[in-house]
Chains A and B, each alone.
Chain A
């Protein structure tokens, strides 16, 4: 009779001879003791609140709690506002992801081509800075900048140049909100997004450029045939890793949207926020149901990304 033996492997593929857990704890008692507070913290902070998920199946208003089965989900699926928020979340997040990634790649390539170290470092520092500003501050700046009133810099400047005859309420016009939102995101996050691409670029074998030089490649050709292909693997990985987070869109939208552009800007998190915190007597059961649905979709996306990551990188993300 043969006994099937499971052998654990290290990340490099070397086998690990596992001893029983009790033996490992005994042998490494100090380490396990150090791990204990972390374990307790994780259980209390991350796992214990999960019990609240059950309220997705309840009506929960003030102190009245009543089991209603799937009613909250039926209500949610019947609401136009929910579907608007859901589709907006996907559209805004994915577009933002593609645009900011593309911008980061472009800037990274540009920075990589700069030979003046001082100029390169200075530019890097300048484009990193917006990342460290909070979204609240960014929103305040752009709202002031784009305001329709006489304090709005953009409107007043364009009017003084004769480009506009009347001020435009940029952030309150549906057709303009998303483009402005993407531009603000590019301004804020492109610099930070270049970090990983610049690291990749610094790792490209110089011999490839030397070979291209010998072949008579122009600068643009070297970028197109050497730099870009070398970046592609990283770009795909970045996209995959970020795709898992597309539903986590809140702060940037929350500080910039307003009720006149809800149709194009409201996302699931802002919808849940309004239902929970701006309703006089909210039904926490309903908002938990919306949150649960979002989490299920988010989890599904994580699994897809995990699968895609395994295919491309040979290892998953979870």
Chain B
């Protein structure tokens, strides 16, 4: 009998232990429903306390921030110096010492890790973020959860208000009730189509001749069939991207805009009314174009599985005989990065900074969107501890966001990195690629001249920027520190002249519940259409059969907001 009882206990334990794998170790860090309700009701019923508490003194001794790969001063790239200088500068501004803890997450799983951090932690825990970066899509999903602090008042009273040149960016972030749960220090930026100049020359084409989709497609065909790399054999492709469409991340269409044209395969506002763009004729047409491109071999099949890193590395790799001629990627600084990477790989060395040409939006894009899509800006959010007081949150705003755009020392740290590590004003000279006579480049700067230094982890490249792009920032630096990279300047100018703002990302309860499955199904259907497994019409019919009711529900919820 004892043995049977023991067996039963062991069996039960086994079931439980296996099931627990799907759970999180939440015991120590989560709040049970009752507690949550209680916290929320406290929040709702103690408005007088809140008002009183707002004036409380709160000394923020430690600031925990969570960032993605957009903070380029990584641990290997001089982050310690950045932290040290930030702490010194901000401590002076605040009048008390402050410690900055940076939790830089893996860029590719950022959203998932943030979700786990916010689920398993609570304000006050060592790992719980006081502030963090969110993409526009993430931000829309979290804005309604009650976890984020409404910083509308803090933003309105911020010192940097007088220097903001792009006030609409954050004004557009506010919801219909005027709440501002996220702060964008820069505008969003977007993608531009880059073409290898050598390949254009090899097939006898000019970027100025590419005005329409037909021109664009003929170029891709030439890159695929006319041996643009000159190796005497096939193997090249017209274009590569990280997916035929990136349906899990707004603005979804920006990696292959020429094929998508006016389509928007998600929920968006059309003439002020929310619609499901995936079921529209424009999406059917776009999928049909992509399918033709795949069938004709102008789209590299690796596109389906490639992430952005794989796509760009294949594009600029030394092995050009299996590469592609066209790549649509981020504007401005990335023009420099892509060019430098081609140089590192020894691709088209004779062209120098003219390796890449930027394609102006084709006519079909101009006729629909009006230009390349300028995505909604990533934002900084502050977590709300829901204690009925704004003191902690205001202190975080003051320490982090207010100083981030101070126009001077701290903004320089966020823009260019740490002084004498990433940039300097002291006289110096250095050489990159000293061992390679063809790539060797000398730099010399006089005392007092602002300049970027060699990258801490790669002495053969010059540092570019830190978190804030100086060209995209909504309140420019006032200390006159400008990195005068002509290529970056030209890239940013080209984009700003050819872009339009992206549609606002959708967010409602039903969409949050089904989003993962919806995106998975849409991506599957998209891939099936592109690879010729089914027609675009059949795919959309299948989509509507399965998701039609849910889609209608989402549209209804969005339009009711």
Q: Which chain A residues have a beta carbon within 8 Å of chain B's beta carbons?
A: 6, 46-47, 49-53, 55-56, 58, 60-67, 81, 143, 147-151, 167, 169, 172, 258-260, 262, 272, 274-284, 287-288, 290-292, 294-296, 298-299, 302-303, 318
Contact = CB atoms under 8 A, between A and B. Distances in A.
A292 B22 CA distance: 8
Contact of A51 (B21, B27, B109, B145): B27
A151 to B, nearest CB: 5
A63 B23 contact: no
26 contacts: A51-B27, A53-B20, A55-B26, A56-B23, A62-B115, A62-B119, A149-B302, A150-B234, A259-B524, A259-B527, A262-B520, A276-B22, A279-B115, A279-B516, A280-B516, A283-B513, A284-B22, A291-B20, A291-B21, A294-B18, A294-B22, A295-B15, A295-B16, A298-B18, A303-B11, A318-B10
B68 interface: no
B22 A291 contact: yes
Contact of A282 (B15, B32, B109, B115): B115
Nearest to B302: A149
B533 A52 contact: no
Interface stretch (B74-82, B134-142, B181-189, B274-282): B134-142
A223 to B, nearest CB: 40
B309 to A, nearest CB: 14
Secondary structure at the B interface, as helix, strand, loop or mixed, is helix
B482 interface: no
Contacts of B10: 318
Contacts of B19: 50, 52-53, 56, 288, 291-292, 294-296
Q: Is the interface of A mostly helix, strand, loop or mixed?
A: helix
Contacts of B97: none
Nearest to A285: B23
Nearest to A81: B517
A150 B145 CA distance: 47
Interface string B535-549: 000000000000000
Most buried by A among B17, B19, B137, B520: B19
A150 B31 contact: no
B508 interface: no
Nearest to A167: B301
Given A62-B147, A303-B11, A53 B524 contact: no
Given A50-B17, A64-B33, A259-B527, A280 B137 contact: yes
Given A49-B23, A65-B30, A288-B23, A150 B235 contact: yes
Given A60-B26, A62-B115, A291-B22, 16 more contacts: A58-B33, A60-B30, A64-B33, A64-B36, A143-B305, A149-B302, A169-B531, A258-B305, A259-B523, A276-B22, A280-B516, A283-B513, A284-B26, A288-B20, A288-B23, A291-B20
A291 B527 CA distance: 29
B337 interface: no
Contacts of B24: 52, 284
A14 B525 CA distance: 66
Nearest to B118: A62
Given A52-B27, A151-B322, A287-B22, A302 B17 contact: no
B14 A65 contact: no
Contact of A67 (B21, B23, B33, B512): B33
Interface of B: 2, 7, 10-11, 13-27, 30-33, 36, 109, 111-112, 115, 118-119, 122, 137-138, 141-142, 145, 147, 234-237, 300-302, 304-305, 322, 512-513, 515-517, 520, 523-524, 527-528, 531, 533
Contacts of A60: 26, 30, 119
Contacts of A275: 516
Given A259-B524, A260-B527, A274-B520, A284 B23 contact: yes
A67 B35 CA distance: 13
Contacts of B147: 62-63
B383 to A, nearest CB: 10
A55 B516 CA distance: 21
B141 A281 contact: yes
Nearest to A268: B22
Contacts of B2: 6
B385 to A, nearest CB: 11
Contacts of A302: 11, 14
Contacts of A47: 13, 17
B22 A288 contact: yes
Nearest to A55: B23
A63 B13 contact: no
A52 B523 CA distance: 33
Given A51-B27, A291-B23, A299-B14, A281 B7 contact: no
B205 to A, nearest CB: 22
Contacts of A63: 30-31, 36, 118-119, 122, 147
Nearest to B321: A150
A66 B512 CA distance: 17
B23 A278 contact: no
Contacts of A294: 18-19, 22
A50 B36 contact: no
A279 B33 CA distance: 22
A277 B22 CA distance: 11
Nearest to B21: A291
Contacts of B118: 62-63
Q: Which 10 A-B pairs have the closest CB atoms?
A: A291-B22, A52-B23, A295-B18, A292-B19, A50-B16, A279-B516, A150-B235, A148-B301, A295-B19, A259-B524
B23 A280 contact: no
A66 to B, nearest CB: 5
A149 B302 CA distance: 6
B30 A52 contact: no
B112 A53 contact: no
A149 B300 contact: yes
A65 B32 contact: yes
A172 B31 contact: no
Most buried by A among B7, B119, B145, B523: B119
B25 A52 contact: yes
Contacts of B27: 51-52
Contacts of A51: 20, 27
Interface-centre pick from A275, A299, A318 (highest chain B CB count, 10 A) = A299
Given A299-B14, A318-B10, A49 B527 contact: no
A272 B516 CA distance: 12
Contacts of A64: 33, 36, 145
Nearest to B121: A63
A270 to B, nearest CB: 11
B512 A65 contact: no
A173 to B, nearest CB: 8
B533 A260 contact: yes
Contact of A50 (B20, B109, B516): B20
Contacts of B302: 147, 149, 151
A299 B515 CA distance: 32
A143 to B, nearest CB: 8
A119 to B, nearest CB: 39
A43 to B, nearest CB: 11
A284 B531 contact: no
Nearest to B240: A149
A52 B512 contact: no
B22 A290 contact: yes
